[in-house]
Each structure stands twice: as C-alpha cells, then as structure tokens.
Amino acid sequence: MILRVSTKGEYGVRLMVDLARHYYSSRPRSLTDIAQAEQLSLAYLEQLVKLLREAEPPLVVSTRGAHGGYRLSRPPEEITMGEIVRVLEGPIAPMICATEGEMTQICSLLDSCKTKFLWARVRDAVAQTLDSMTLADLVGASEQETQNAPTHFISISDIRVAPSSAL
C-alpha cells in the first residue's frame, strides 16, 4: 500500500466537499451538522478543521458563537485538491529524501542514487493529479444527486474485521 491516505486526509476532504456544497448558503455550516451528515466524530473534525483554518493561506474561515460555523475561504473552483491534501497530510513525499522541492539538500552525497528518480516521478504524478482538480470538480461531478443526503464512505477503520489478505 504505497498510497496511504490517513483518516485526516479522507475526512478532511469530505469536510471540504461538504462545505463546498453549502458554499452559497446564507449561513455558515456548523461542524455538528457536518459530523452528522458524514457520520464522523465532532471532536475529531474539530482537530481537522483547525488545520484548514490555520493553513497559510487559510482554506476555511470560522464564525464563533451560536449559529456559527465554517465557510470556504474562497470559491470551490479556486481551491485545488492538492492544497487541501497537503494541509491535511503534509507534503507529498514518498520518503524524506524525495520531498517536494529541494531534493538535493537532504540527499547530498547521493548522486549515484538511482532509485530517487523513481520516487520523484511517482511524487510528481500524484502532485499533478491533485493540483489539477478543484473542489468544484468534485462537487459538480454528481450535482443532480440528493442535496442533503449523507455522503457515505467506507474507510479503512470501518473494516477492521476483514481479512488483511483481501487487500
């Protein structure tokens, strides 16, 4: 399993998609509502949304107090999935010496390292895929569907029972 999206990334993206669907609502959307719609823990979502709010630049803005909640900081078409995932999961790097950007800094000795080209290409493929999609793309994909129905999703943590051989 070379691609490992933690629940941070998974839930966080779902949170952002939810916010995108409610972007043109008059009121901000509360985490309580999102937690219910997405069947996620409120306390855990609070941790995730903190990352999104404190990101530079921020991806969501909050309103405190009763009838408060969250909004996207920008329209859905201006927020790429790459931004979201990087905030939640950290930089896209298969290993420490293949971090985005400066690769030669950490791997100084290693001109002869043949495998780094491999990981760099994989990394770039992922980055380009994520950076070429926006929230609007994800929301628009099935816009005709139910407006308020929960967006179910089976995650790894739901299926501890299944034999790992099935993976």
Partner DNA sequence: CTTAATCCGACCTGCTCACTAGGATATATT
Partner DNA sequence: AATATATCCTAGTGAGCAGGTCGGATTAAG
Give every CB contact of residue 138 below 8 A, 6+ residues apart in sequence. 17, 20, 81
Check residue 166 and report its DSSP letter: G
- C-beta of 33: minimal distance to a copy of itself in Å? 17
Residues 128-157 that bind DNA (CB under 7 A): 155-157
Cα 83 → chain centroid: 8
- C-beta of 26: minimal distance to a copy of itself in Å? 23
Q: The tokens 């999961």 sit on which residue?
A: 89
Please give the structure tokens belonging to residue 90. Answer: 């950290």
Residues 61-80 that bind DNA (CB under 7 A): 62-70
53 scored as a contact of DNA (CB under 7 A): yes
What is the enclosing helix (H) or strand (E) of 96?
none
- C-beta of 85: minimal distance to DNA in Å? 13
When the beta carbons of 106 and 140 are compared against DNA, the nearer one is: 106
Please give the structure tokens belonging to residue 73. Answer: 């900081």
What residues make contact with DNA under the rule CB under 7 A?
Answer: 1, 6-8, 30-32, 41, 43-44, 46-47, 49-50, 53, 62-70, 155-157, 160, 164
